[in-house]
Structure 1
Amino acid sequence: MKSIDLRCGDALDLFKEIDSNSIDVVIADPPYNLGKDYGNNHDLKGFDEYLDFSRLWLSEAKRVLKPEGTIYVFMGVRFISYLYDILDRDLEMFFNSWIVWHYTQGLGKTKGFSPRHDDILMFTKTNKHTFNLDNVRVPQKYYRARNNMRGANPGDVWKFSHVHYCNPNRQNHPTQKPEGLIERMILASSNEGGNILDPFSGSGTTLRVCQQTHRNAIGFELNPEYVEMTHARLREKFVGFDSVDPRMERVPNDLRKPEIRDEYLENHIHWFLNNHENALEVFKKAVKEKYGVEVNKKSDTTKQADLF
């Protein structure tokens, strides 16, 4: 079993306990400085104070990363350009991607356009970083022989639903992130047995994903109530991550040749829906409707459906 280590305290102090060049991935969802209530603290600093705080923890994040390591940083629109500047110019890290997390529900506006996305900066410590593309591919919309049957690059616009309050995995935290979103970062930028650090652990999503994907995880959290909440979450039975990219459930068109289709369907669940058993029925229904075959629940092989 991999190590899950959740520490209660201030991130700037706890970073000092982490060895340099020891972490594969840092996943950080720091306070956006918008005045949110995090129980025992409020997210509201002066502008310059917040940038100084950001510069300090980002410097520590760079220090603890391995040479092939990656950092993902969530940030709201007000400060994201400043964090980009810190990572790029001050810390001289290597820019990789500006990821947009698109969601379908959010705050409504009557004077202006309603926000429907968050931004995520992806930087690497050097230009020789870990990136496992095959682990995060998405199914092709149209199958072509020249395409990779294994799937396509997911791109830098990621669609995951919020963890809604009716979701059984919803925690009592104001900014809980979907597990499928964090899963993609971890699978792409680390290998099994790797070391992941979340300096603002919050509801414990990163630690939960590491627990299920065989990674070691360290989390920092200022609020002791969130620490206890996360421990309880880690003890819960796992029935699948609480979110999935809807493309993972789709079945490529043009799989009319049985030998190609059977090979593909035998692999789809392993490739795209591992850790997402709660999405299997959607996929199986789509297969039956499109091709008239069933994906056998026991062996994950296909058989002709009795449709006629």
Structure 2
Amino acid sequence: MNRLFLSAVALTSMFAVAAAEPPTDKQALGTSLPLVGETLDVTGAPGWPLKLDWLYDVPSLKDGAGKVVIHWFCAPKIPTCVDDLARVVTMKENSNRVYVVAYINGNKGQAKKLDPIRESEGVGRGTLAFGRKVTALFKTMKIVGPVSIVVDVEGRIALVSTGSSPQEMDARDAKVSALTAAIKEHTMTSEGPAKVVKPAEKFTLKISVKLAPWLKYSTKAPREFKVMTPKDITCDATSLKGDQLRVIDQTLTGAVTCSGAKGSYEIRGNLSFGYDAAGGPGLGTESANWKFEIKP
């Protein structure tokens, strides 16, 4: 009786564990190309070979942050790879928002001939893998022609291109161009008075800037929120600097409270700040205009 009970419990537990284990997809196993909409790290998919031979450094999360990443697969024996190499080099050189991870099915000498990074010209712009493990990856994923996996700044695959015709390469290039054009270091929102407010009624002038997730606000560059007000408008401050501005996560906010006498007004506000990025420090300025009327 006890043996039967224990066997039943063990069998039930085995099925429960099996049911709890999620199925492993082909991308994770490295046996298939990933699909559009899936996520792909700059270092590749979980099932891709570890410790590849790299012509330069290993792929850098820091250098690839905030950029469109192109995982480019090619080989010396693929005739269209030379033409596609020129395209990939052009995309990299025309935009500092492109990071290329090349996988060349060949030895080191062959890889150098299909190198889109171009040694010192591409420092921080990508890297290149070659050798037996890359050959194994090509075989496992059944790659027979040039392949490009285009990943957006959020790490999501926007395009998987397996064609070698000029039209297909044009489509890939256009996708990369559109994605890079859409990249923004920061976005701005503003808040101001209604179109009509009453005399002595208090209202808020506010500008908020949300920084892209791959950036951080500089502690060295000056920050200032400044409003240019006419003489009949009184605010609790017309300039806020440094710690007077509020930072929550990636959002920087400057706000003042104002009131005024009867009349029609236009006020301009500026929020200036600095940020740190992999390529070096940057400066940003956002502005807002508020038009309103004060009357009883």
TM category, shorter? under 0.3
What TM-score does the superposition give when structure 1 sets the normalisation length? Answer: 0.23
What TM-score does the superposition give when structure 2 sets the normalisation length? Answer: 0.24
Greater helix proportion? 1
Larger Cα-atom Rg: 2
